[in-house]
Amino acid sequence: MRDILETSAIAAGLEIMAIYRRGAEVTIKADRSPVTDADEQAEALILADLARHFPQIPVVAEEQTAQGHVSRIEGEFFLVDPLDGTKEFVGKRDGFTVNIALIRDGVPVAGVVYAPALNVGYSAVEGVAEKFVTDEAGNRSQRRRIGVRACPEQAVVLASISHCTPETEAFIDRCGFYERRSIGSSLKFCLLAEGLADAYPRFGRTMEWDTAAGDAILRAAGGSVHALDGSLLLYGKRNQATDADFANPSFIACGAHRAIYFPDQPAV
């Protein structure tokens, strides 16, 4: 599983970087978010890989869903975001990623996040989170296991570059973080998993394919992602009364010290 998902994400990343260098074709979707030919070609490549290796597991992918094509899902399915951080990609910033996650009974149990412009990737399978680097041809090396850090005296919070809200600012002010860093895409989950930061609050809408792979890696590294009521973030949300299929509520991703942000909730 790990090798297949990593290989697919890296191949998609190589395709994305070829388009990145020559210039992408950008269009605007119905939700007013940008999509490029890199998104579409990377998704096609990943879907073909998953169909070849896991024909029995349905796939929910961002661009297919935007076009109205949604697979019927049950207990197990893949979530794919072929290019998370499209605004980063279009703006020629390096913090965009390829995300693939396996969901089982609402829980992200495996995932890979690959940042092709940075030549770095993260993966999680069977409760083990790892980081690896790649060369320009996509060959992997320097694999090592990663984990969240214990609560430090000088906690670091991560904030979205493009989607910071007044609620996010209020949370950061209330918790009194020592340092704030801004970064795009699902790399925020990976920095938490690697023990380089302590919390990532997201107040506002995200979709499940935005978060699932990073969530899988963070959980395997000892962290967690919670809705504001303290419950763990779940996947495969359909027929929601107040939002679209696969939309997430606001959440807080955190390392080993969950109780700081949810003091009234039992440990999980």
- Tens digits of residue pLDDT in 113-170: 999 999 999 999 999 999 999 999 999 999 999 999 987 778 899 987 666 778 888 8
Q: 0.75 cut: is pTM over it?
A: yes
pLDDT of residue 170: 86
Torsion of CA 186, 190, 193, 198, to 10 degrees: -70
Bridge partner list, 200: 253
- Tens digits of residue pLDDT in 61-97: 999 998 888 888 888 999 999 999 888 888 888 999 9
Which residues are annotated binding-site positions?
62, 81, 83-86, 210
DSSP string, 186-203: THHHHHHHTTS-SEEEE-
Domains within the chain, CATH numbers bracketed: 2-145 (3.30.540.10), 156-260 (3.40.190.80)
Residue 268 has pLDDT above 50, yes or no: no
pLDDT of residue 44: 96
Is residue 241 within 8 A of residue 187, CB to CB? The reply is: no
Which residues are annotated binding-site positions for Mg(2+)?
62, 81, 83-84, 210
83, 248, 261 from 91: Cα distances, Å: 13, 26, 33
Which residues are annotated binding-site positions for substrate?
62, 83-86, 210
- Tens digits of residue pLDDT in 198-220: 999 999 889 999 999 999 999 99
- H helices of the chain, in order, are 2-22, 37-53, 62-66, 86-90, 166-175, 187-193, 208-220
- Residue 104's identity, in one-letter code, is R
What the block records as the tokens of 80 is 């794919």
The CA-based angle 77-82-85, given to 5 degrees, is 125
Average pLDDT across the chain, whole number: 90
